[in-house]
């Protein structure tokens, strides 16, 4: 239990997707103009990460890894399909996003109308594929750990985008140098937020 809490906290604050690895920066910059849309986008990312990482975990451990196919037949102990992982992961992500979109549209129109426009964007959000690739690289031992890591990364991304959106809403009233307006100042503020988040790095979990 404690182990899981550690992974959760670590993936939110210490290994924050945005501030430590710059993942999902494109949508982070594009959708963070108002707090409302960024909350929608943030939820969609948490949701999709929470679904795709366990699926990709199963795929990695029962199909792709060296010797993972041993449950099919003893002959497959030396088969290593890990070079296919990019294409498999992205296929899972793209189809899950499509599936989630359809399920939401059918069963929860309210949620669909708030998340709907963000879902197609998410298929190409590097935070999602990055999450799966980090899961593969760090080799979590159980599916629960992987899921917790996915949710934690999602929450970290959510915090980052809502934070920057709130700052961007306020900064509209300030006197920013013209050439820095918009994109430039957002980069610099994100850098400053990243420095703030670095203070978590010293925490040993």
Site residues (vs other proteins, CB under 8 A)? 19-26, 29-30, 83-87, 89-91, 94-95, 120, 123-126, 128-130, 133-134, 137, 172, 177-188, 190-195, 198
Tokens, residue 120: 């197609």
Which residue lies nearer to other proteins by CB, 92 or 155? Answer: 92
CB of 187 to other proteins, least distance (A): 3
Measured CA distances, 96 to 29, 52, 136, 191 (Å): 24, 7, 18, 32
CB of 87 to other proteins, least distance (A): 4
Which residue lies nearer to other proteins by CB, 70 or 124? Answer: 124
CB of 125 to other proteins, least distance (A): 7
Which residue lies nearer to other proteins by CB, 21 or 43? Answer: 21
State how far Cα 177 lies from the chain centre.
33
CB of 17 to other proteins, least distance (A): 10
Q: How many CA atoms lie within 13 A of 74 on its CB side?
A: 0
CB of 139 to other proteins, least distance (A): 13
Q: Are 45 and 154 in contact (CB under 8 A)?
A: yes
Which residue lies nearer to other proteins by CB, 116 or 182? Answer: 182
Which residue lies nearer to other proteins by CB, 26 or 139? Answer: 26
């Amino acid at each position: 239990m404690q182990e899981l809490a550690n992974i959760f906290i670590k993936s939110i604050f210490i290994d924050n997707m945005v501030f430590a690895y710059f993942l999902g920066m494109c949508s982070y910059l594009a959708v963070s103009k108002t707090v409302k849309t960024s909350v929608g986008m943030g939820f969609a990312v948490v949701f999709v990460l929470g679904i795709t990482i366990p699926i990709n975990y199963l795929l990695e451990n029962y199909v792709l890894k060296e010797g993972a196919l041993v449950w099919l037949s003893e002959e497959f102990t030396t088969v290593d399909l890990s070079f296919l992982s990019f294409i498999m992961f992205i296929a899972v992500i793209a189809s899950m996003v499509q599936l989630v979109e359809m399920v939401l549209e059918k069963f929860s129109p309210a949620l669909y109308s708030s998340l709907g426009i963000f879902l197609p964007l998410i298929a190409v959000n590097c935070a999602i594929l990055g999450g799966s690739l980090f899961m593969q690289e760090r080799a979590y031992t159980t599916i629960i750990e992987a899921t917790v890591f996915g949710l934690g990364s999602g929450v970290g991304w959510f915090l980052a985008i809502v934070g920057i959106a709130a700052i961007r809403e306020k900064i509209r009233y300030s006197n920013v140098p013209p050439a820095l307006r918009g994109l430039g100042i957002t980069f610099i503020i994100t850098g400053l937020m990243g420095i703030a988040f670095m203070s978590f790095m010293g925490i040993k979990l």
